């Protein structure tokens, strides 16, 4: 069954995503990152290249010819699903990924403002209605709530 984790009250959802994606990559996971739009995708792309001076975090856009052999793949909501692997998906878009149930794990990152919280609540309700048991975490302390 798909596991679902919500990280609530993230001061900077992109910075947290960068940290968690890097950690997942280092532990051998294959990661999909779903973002709201191309601007958000470019922002995360830049952060993944620059957030740690000497870190190499290999990632490409889902449409790249290298997507199948790259451990971290970025794409935007609304695009037809193009995920080459279905291990772990980070959702930074406001809606539920239509292909969410194909993944072993879903990570949702919720920011501090209502623009993040309100759609986050709807996604939580969606996962519960689908028979999944989301787990809430504090984004700062990284502990279950």
Q: What is the pLDDT of residue 72?
A: 97
Domains in the chain: ranges and CATH: 3-138 (3.40.50.10110)
Q: What phi, psi does 13 have (nearest 5°)?
A: -55, -35
Note the pLDDT tens digit of each residue in 77-87: 998 888 999 99
Q: Please write the tens of the pLDDT for every residue from 2-36.
A: 999 999 999 999 999 999 999 999 999 999 999 99
Those residues whose C-beta lies under 8 Å from the C-beta of residue 51, and which sit 6 or more positions away, are 15, 18, 19, 22, 57
Task: List b or e across 32-52, with b for residues whose CB sees 16 or more CB atoms inside 10 angstroms.
Answer: bbbbeeeebbeebbebbeebe
pLDDT tens digits, one per residue of 46-72: 999 987 767 789 999 999 999 999 999
Residues 6+ apart with CB under 8 A from 130: 101
Reported pTM:
0.95
Give the Cα separation of 142 and 145 in Å (integer): 9
């Amino acid at each position: 069954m798909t596991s679902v984790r919500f990280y609530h009250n993230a001061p900077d959802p992109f910075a947290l995503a960068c940290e968690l994606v890097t950690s997942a990559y280092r532990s051998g996971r294959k990661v999909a990152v779903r973002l709201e739009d191309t601007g958000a995708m470019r922002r995360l792309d830049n952060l993944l290249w620059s957030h740690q001076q000497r870190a190499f975090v290999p990632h490409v856009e889902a449409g790249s010819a290298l997507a199948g052999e790259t451990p971290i793949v970025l794409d935007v909501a609304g695009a037809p699903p193009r995920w080459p692997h279905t291990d772990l998906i980070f959702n930074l878009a406001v809606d539920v990924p239509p292909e969410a149930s194909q993944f072993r794990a879903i990570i949702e990152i919720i920011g501090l403002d209502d623009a993040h919280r309100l759609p986050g609540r709807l996604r939580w309700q969606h996962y519960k209605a689908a028979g999944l048991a989301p787990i809430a975490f504090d984004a700062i302390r990284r502990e279950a709530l």
